[in-house]
Amino acid sequence: MQTIRQLVSLRETIATLRGEGARIALVPTMGALHAGHIALIEAAKLVADKVVASIFVNPKQFAPGEDLARYPRREQADARMLADAGCAVLWLPGVEEMYPDGFATSITVSGVSEGLDGAARPGHFDGVATVVAKLFNQVGADVALFGEKDFQQLAVIRRMVADLNLPIEIISVLTQRDDDGLALSSRNIYLAPEDRARAVALPRALGVAARVIGQGGDAVQALATAREALLSGGFDTVDYVELVDAETLAPMPDPARPRRLLAAARIAGTRLIDNIAVEPIATT
């Protein structure tokens, strides 16, 4: 695996791969890799000849007071995992390479960015959209892969790609979970063992609510029950538990269309998110 830190070298390497006729996949990450990221690499190898992974802890998607400074950075261990997984190139730009002096552009994707995490973390999705657009332009991949764990992020990126006619295909990969159901996340390492054990309340609450709503039960009641289950299960605060249209993320979704249940909650200072599909109710 080639590790590249300068854009000029990345461009040369990509040109060589293109010259060999390679189809290229991009897996953007912020590092602190886990099995969820490796599942993205594995899925990328199925749809491309060469996989480029990027690691960049993007300051623009952290609000003041969030965990930018303490976000885990494990460059060497990450590079080993990527090489073992069969990645061809690791794109590892520094902040100065990504945002040189005078950088002044920001991408806002309205609508899908606005509720849920967009409301709880103002500016977050502008930072995500801006860096992802840059990564797409830097790497020039044919396809990029993202996890469903960050479901709103996926919707924002799909919207941006469609709106800006970006020549890249977006593929989503199912959320990877621990044996007890907790979604894998780089932030899980912040959790002390007792909080990690309690965190399972999140996928459980979503699973129960999705089943009730999918069977035609009262959605408002199911969401309230899920919030209570999170608080009684050990979460300190709940940012949201919401049922939305799976594509537009609009609230009060049409039960005949695919819907998604999303939640964000804090446990011992760590903010966890998760989401689950709600099956469409068949209409006759």
- Residues forming contacts to ligand PAF in the complex (CB under 6 A) are 28-30, 58, 61, 128, 131-132, 150, 153
Give dist(CA 184, CA 34) in Å, integer.
7
Our CB check for ligand PAF shows the closer of 99 and 205 to be: 99
Q: Are the C-beta atoms of 149 and 274 separated by less than 8 Å?
A: yes
Per-residue tokens: 250: 């609009």
Q: How far is the CB of 56 from ligand PAF (least distance, A)?
A: 6
Which residues are tagged catalytic? 37
Q: How far is the CB of 279 from ligand PAF (least distance, A)?
A: 26
DSSP code string of 36-62: HHHHHHHHHHHH-SEEEEEE---GGGS
Q: How far is the CB of 114 from ligand PAF (least distance, A)?
A: 17
Our CB check for ligand PAF shows the closer of 132 and 243 to be: 132
Give dist(CA 234, CA 2) in Å, integer.
44
Our CB check for ligand PAF shows the closer of 145 and 261 to be: 145
Q: Are the C-beta atoms of 256 and 281 separated by less than 8 Å?
A: yes
Q: How far is the CB of 222 from ligand PAF (least distance, A)?
A: 28
Where does 146-280 have alpha helices with state H?
151-163, 193-198, 201-214, 219-232
Our CB check for ligand PAF shows the closer of 124 and 260 to be: 124
